[in-house]
Amino acid sequence: MTTTWATATATHCPYCALQCGMRLAPAAGPVPVEVRERADFPVNRGALCGKGQNAAALLAPGARLTTPLVRDVWDTKDGRGGRGELRAASWAEALDRAASGFAAVREEHGADAVGVFGGGGLTNEKAYQLGKFARIALRTATIDYNGRFCMSSAAAAGRIAFGVDRGLPFPLADIPRTDCLILVGANPAETMPPALRYFRELRENGGTLIVVDPRRTRTAEQADLHLQPVPGTDLALALGLLHLLIADRMVDVDFVAERTSGFEQARAAAMAHWPERVERITGVPVAQLREAARHFGRARTGMVLTARGPEQQSKGTDTVGAWINLCLASGKAGRLYSGYGCLTGQGNGQGGREHGQKADQLPGYRSIEDPAARAHVAAVWGVEPEDLPRSGRSAYELLDSLGAPGADGVRALLLMGSNPVVSAPRAARISRRLRSLDLLVVSDLVLSETAQLADVVLPSTQWAEETGTMTNLEGRVLLRRRATEPPDGVRSDLWVLRELAERLGAKGPGGEGGFDDDPETVFAELRRASAGGQADYAGISYERIAAEDGVFWPCPAEDHPGTPRLFLDAFATPDGRARFAPVSHRPAAEEPDTEYPVHLTTGRVLAQYQSGAQTRRVAELNAAAPGPFVELHPRLAARVGVAEGEPLAVVSRRGRVVAPARISDAIRPDTVFMPFHWAGPGRANTLTNPALDPTSKMPEFKVCAVRLEVLRLERTGEDA
């Protein structure tokens, strides 16, 4: 077959929140399409990283699930029951088993004993339908998603400060036009390489790039100034910079007076964080603090962008709030080429949090506790407001309650597009909780580590086989287009939800309250449900997205141009003013001590994506990043007596893992780093601390205390 690029399908990469534009053309062989760059898409301008270039590999039938799987269970005389192996089943058997299991648990334990766990990679249509399925087909409050582990602290801080959460309040194309940018706990050189060109262009234009990271990452190597704080101390660092802005009279007093509220409390907290104190807490020398404050304070325009570093902390909301304070005090928000933004991670991390798969939200970024919001969404769904459940528990709380006895226990779970066996904190415990369920139903395109524990596995279509919308990190709503037929035996998640809803006695397709499996029909309903909400999609259609290469929300009407830049006239708070956060430094939930003397921080590598369920199955990516490692400084390596490549045990209060040592002077001597993409003996999340941020309920992935042991024969992977 000759590849016909003239008729190729324009779509987007299945992985990260950059949602790079790409083209797919039919190809001969088991992989049915070929990937090419798409130079005219404005976000990535033709560039793709290795993940995107190799994305088609998983479309081959041999690389993914192509039939439903069911596990037989039986009673035994001792009452403990038995469980067989997963075996192939028909769709009818698998769906009947799932639906009857959900109904039985609901009957015996109540509606909230059936849980739903979604993912930040689901299209807007799927995320919307999953939230609706939970609320009106299962009638459960127990729904949340893995995006809670991703950017929820930034979302919470953004809503507090600005009244609305959109990852970036401006297009990426604005970045090269700002004078000074502080990138905090973000490593786009590895997580979204095509975005790096914006930071390079910023420097070529004479701007200053400051990177804050405990590691000298590939991104930090490109910075004018790299601040290398102790993990978990970014809040003190931001307070110290604000202190210097105030002390050196770099506060924009007119902006603070006219467009903000709450400065005095923030000022008082900052004044208690003088440079020498901040150096003691963070390890960042006073001279570097002064240099950073001078660059940012004196710049005419400036931006602060955060990612998981400051966000995945038990004080993540306050930490992001402190960085926002810095923007507000210096007048660098709500103005062209200035502002605070969050670099969202997952492909639809933005849209996934807007349309109802979060425990406390209804579509349109509405609060599920708001009577007006409940009335609006109930009318779209054809139910009474009082029929809608209230807020449920957050992601880790939900996972931690699986299989627990009593009223709080979740006994059955529908999990869609997530792999918590690898990605959840304290992962060995979460694996045990998943095993203790009466029924686990997993919809996925591969047999992930979590799917391997399931009673029912439903093989789902993937990006190139389906149409739907994704919202990238800029708030730009994009169209994912179907380019090839799925293999026989594979179905879309929308079809699965329709079938389950029918079996559970909810309305069938068509009309309000029904469960349709046509993406455009679901999107039309999503538009109505979101109308008038903060994330208003009412004016966005598939036709418009195609014609305009994406539409920025809010877009309340078809003749509305969309909103690439937020806050230029007013912030989205009731009085139009941005709010300073009254925050003060506090230590991480777990600090090093004599038993566990070293910090552990976790993150990603270039060739793998999130839990690795997909990228670990791609030969080219696996060759580039075949397994976990423990990165540590030469001085620390000498102290513990480990050489490059030798196995090193890392032990926390929650478990023990082993991975080869990778010795590098790019990391602080008091800290080790592990990537979290792998299961098995090197699973980083066996170690991580589920201490939750009180506002966002984000677990503290980014910092915990560990000890290192050089051992030749290891017992691994057990939860403490």
Phi/psi region, residue 287 (left: phi>0; alpha: psi -120 to 50; beta: rest), is alpha
| CB contact at 8 A, 415 and 443 | yes
CB of 612 to ligand SF4, least distance (A): 13
CB atoms within 10 A of CB 92: 10
Q: Which is nearer to ligand SF4, 619 or 720 (CB)?
A: 619
Nearer to ligand SF4, 51 or 411 (CB): 51
Phi, psi of 155 (to 5 degrees): -60, -45
Identify whether 169 is preceded by a cis peptide bond (ω within 30 of 0).
no
Q: Which is nearer to ligand SF4, 15 or 296 (CB)?
A: 15
Taking the C-alpha atoms of residue 304 and residue 379, their distance in angstroms, rounded to an integer, is 40
15 lies in the binding site for ligand SF4 (CB under 6 A)? yes
Which x/- pattern over 192-211 shows residues binding ligand SF4 (rule: CB under 6 A)?
xxx-----------------
Residues 594 to 633: which contact ligand SF4 by CB under 6 A?
A: none
Q: How far is the CB of 324 from ligand SF4 (least distance, A)?
A: 26
* Structural element, H or E, at residue 157: helix 152-162
* Piece in contact with ligand SF4 (CB under 6 A), picked from 13-21, 368-376, 514-522, 643-651: 13-21
Under the binding rule (CB under 6 A), the answer on residue 350 touching ligand SF4 is no
Choose between 400 and 474: whose C-beta lies nearer to ligand SF4: 474
Q: Which amino acid is at 110?
A: G
Distance (Å, rounded) from C-alpha 431 to C-alpha 424?
Answer: 9
- The DSSP secondary-structure symbol of 367 reads E
Q: Least Å distance between CB 606 and ligand SF4? A: 9
Q: Phi then psi for 108, rounded to 5 degrees?
A: -85, -35
Q: Which is nearer to ligand SF4, 187 or 361 (CB)?
A: 187
- 343 contacts ligand SF4 (rule: CB under 6 A): no
DSSP annotation of 127 reads H
Smallest separation (angstroms) from ligand SF4 to the CB of 614: 11
The answer to whether 47 touches 196, Cβ cutoff 8 Å, is no
**Residue 23 CB, nearest approach to ligand SF4 (Å):** 13
Give yes or no for a contact between 339 and 161, defined as CB atoms under 8 angstroms apart. Answer: no
- What is the x/- site pattern for ligand SF4, positions 134-173, by CB under 6 A? ----------------------------------------
Pick one of 8, 11, 18, 578: the residue that binds ligand SF4 (CB under 6 A).
18
Q: Among residues 50 and 660, whose Cβ is nearest to ligand SF4?
A: 50
Give 141 or 151: the residue with its C-beta nearer to ligand SF4. 151
The alpha carbon of residue 285 and the mean position of all alpha carbons in its chain are separated, in whole angstroms, by 32
Pairing mode, if any, of strands 456-459 and 468-471? unpaired
Burial of 283 (0-12, 13-18, 19+ CB in 10 A): middle
Residue listed under structure tokens 């998640």: 493
Please, which residue, 230 or 464, has the CB nearer to ligand SF4? 464
CB 237 within 8 A of CB 279: no
Instruction: Specify the residue, 150 or 500, whose C-beta has the smaller distance to ligand SF4.
Output: 150
- Which residues have a Cβ under 8 Å from the Cβ of 220 and sit 6 or more positions away? 187, 211, 213, 226, 228
By beta carbon distance, the residue nearest ligand SF4 is 52
Which of the ranges 15-23, 132-140, 435-443, 498-506 carries the binding residues for ligand SF4, by CB under 6 A? 15-23
DSSP annotation of 185:
S
Q: Give min distance, CB of 630 to ligand SF4, in A.
A: 25
Binding mask 44-83 toward ligand SF4 (x if CB under 6 A, else -) reads x---xx-xx-------------------------------
- Minimum separation from the CB atom of position 22 to ligand SF4 (A): 7
Least distance to ligand SF4, CB of residue 53, Å:
7
- The three-state DSSP-derived secondary structure of 196-246 is HHHHHHHHHCCCEEEEECCECCCCHHHCCEEECCCCCCHHHHHHHHHHHHH
Residue 334 or 550 with smaller CB distance to ligand SF4: 550
Nearer to ligand SF4, 18 or 246 (CB): 18
> Which one of the spans 131-139, 189-197, 366-374, 378-386 is the region binding ligand SF4 (CB under 6 A)?
189-197
13 sits near ligand SF4 (criterion: CB under 6 A): yes
Pattern of binders to ligand SF4 over 19-48, x per CB under 6 A? xx-----------------------x---x
Cβ 196 to ligand SF4 shortest distance, Å: 10
Tell me how far, at minimum, the Cβ of 55 lies from ligand SF4, in Å. Answer: 7
Contact between residue 650 and residue 672 where contact means Cβ atoms under 8 Å apart = yes
For residues 55 and 373, which CB has a smaller minimum distance to ligand SF4 in the complex? 55
Least Å distance, CB 200 to ligand SF4, is: 15
Quick one: which segment of 16-24, 34-42, 266-274, 575-583 binds ligand SF4 (CB under 6 A)? 16-24
- Using alpha carbons only, give the angle 600, 606, 607 rounded to the nearest 5 degrees: 115
Least Å distance, CB 117 to ligand SF4, is 23
What is the helix (H) or strand (E) element at residue 523, kind and residue range? helix 519-530
**462 near ligand SF4, rule: CB under 6 A:** no
CA distance linking residue 24 with residue 3, whole number of Å: 10
- CA–CA separation, 26 and 41 (whole Å): 20
Least distance (Å) from ligand SF4 to the CB of residue 468? Answer: 16
Least spacing, CB of residue 203 vs ligand SF4, in Å: 20
CB of 52 to ligand SF4, least distance (A): 2
Cα gap 558→552, rounded to integer Å: 12
Q: Which is nearer to ligand SF4, 478 or 672 (CB)?
A: 478
* Nearest distance, CB of residue 566 and ligand SF4, angstroms: 23
Cβ 103 vs Cβ 506: under 8 Å: no
List, as one string, the DSSP characters of 452-510. GG-SEEEEB--GGG--EEEE-TTSEEEEE---SPPPTT-B-HHHHHHHHHHHTT---SS
Nearer residue to ligand SF4 within complex by CB, 380 or 618: 618
CA dihedral 157, 158, 163, 166 (to 10 degrees): -150
The binding track of 629-658 with respect to ligand SF4, each residue x by CB under 6 A or -, is: ------------------------------
Which positions lie near ligand SF4, rule CB under 6 A?
Answer: 13, 15-16, 18-20, 44, 48-49, 51-52, 192-194
